[in-house]
Amino acid sequence: MYIRNFLTEDERRHLLDASEGQFRHSAVADGKRGTRRTSQSAYVARDHVVKCIEERALSVQGYDVPSSHLEPLQLVKYAPEEEYHFHTDWFADPAYTLPVNGGNRVSSFFAYVYTRNDTTGGGTNFPLLDAPVDQRWCDIVDCDEPWDRGLTFRPVAGNAIYWENLRSDRRSGNYKALHAGLPLSSGEKVGLNIWTRQAPLSEEARSYMTYPI
């Protein structure tokens, strides 16, 4: 699902201000810094603005998920050449879906917080989904990509993509949710992940996930 104007301009500025100086190189699920995710990430403290964004993320999900199922909000920042290779947000390895972490990730929001004016590249690509054919989607979908690359969203500040990671049994992962943060050719991009778990996270994990950042 695509949501235009998921974040207001004030919220976007607030997220950038609140995370200034907090970014560090992203790790993936094994906790190591690697070549798969070359961006930098930061968790944002749950202040009143963040709580408001969390409420909105819960409302999109029909209010049937309590806020205790939300991971701390995570910002991710890309410079030129940086990217996040193909991955799913759900985990196949049970080590990352322990009860303290609330099980697996049921759903994901990826919102675009900032894209510098000179940004090129840096779309979010879903290789196993079909791009819509209607040209009217081209403001948000990268229509210049060849059709066999699947669906690529342009990084449009304020907008968000929402998808479900698990199949309808809400247990097994959906491989169609495979996606990548494509490398930037120029500019700067900051995105926001909001991940909902199957069950409540421990109090500690709710404020700071030790992995993966």
Ligand X SMILES: O=C(O)CCC(=O)C(=O)O
Q: Which does 50 bind (CB under 5 to 8 A by kind): Fe ion, ligand X, none?
A: none
How many of the chain's residues bind ligand X (CB under 6 A)?
A: 9
Q: Which DSSP helix (H) or strand (E) runs through 15?
A: helix 9-19
Q: How far is the CB of 98 from ligand X (least distance, A)?
A: 20
90 makes contact, choosing from Fe ion, ligand X, none, with CB < 5 to 8 Å by partner type, with none
Q: For residue 23, what are the CA distances in angstroms to 133, 159, 164, 169, 212?
A: 38, 22, 27, 36, 14
Handedness of CA 81, 3, 116, 212 (dihedral sign): negative
Q: Give residues 84-113 in contact with Fe ion (rule: CB under 5 A).
A: 89
Of 102, 150, 181, 187, which lies in the binding site for ligand X, with binding defined by CB under 6 A? 181
Encoded one letter per residue, x for contact with ligand X by CB under 6 A and - for no contact, window 84-123 reads: x----x--------------------x-------------
* 6 is an interface residue for ligand X by CB under 6 A: no
* Of residues 77 and 206, the one with the C-beta less far from ligand X: 77
Residue 47: burial class (beta carbons within 10 Å; 0-12, 13-18, 19+): exposed
210: phi then psi, degrees, rounded to nearest 5 = -75, -25
Rounded Cα distance between 209 and 213, Å, is 7
Cβ-based burial of 133 (10 A; exposed 0-12, middle 13-18, buried ≥19): exposed
Ranges within 30-89 binding ligand X (CB under 6 A): 76, 84, 89
- What is the smallest separation between the CB atom of 108 and Fe ion, expressed in angstroms? 6
Closer residue to Fe ion in complex, CB, 49/182: 182
Q: Give the binding site for Fe ion (CB under 5 A).
A: 89
Q: Give the binding site for ligand X (CB under 6 A).
A: 76, 84, 89, 110, 124, 179, 181, 191, 193
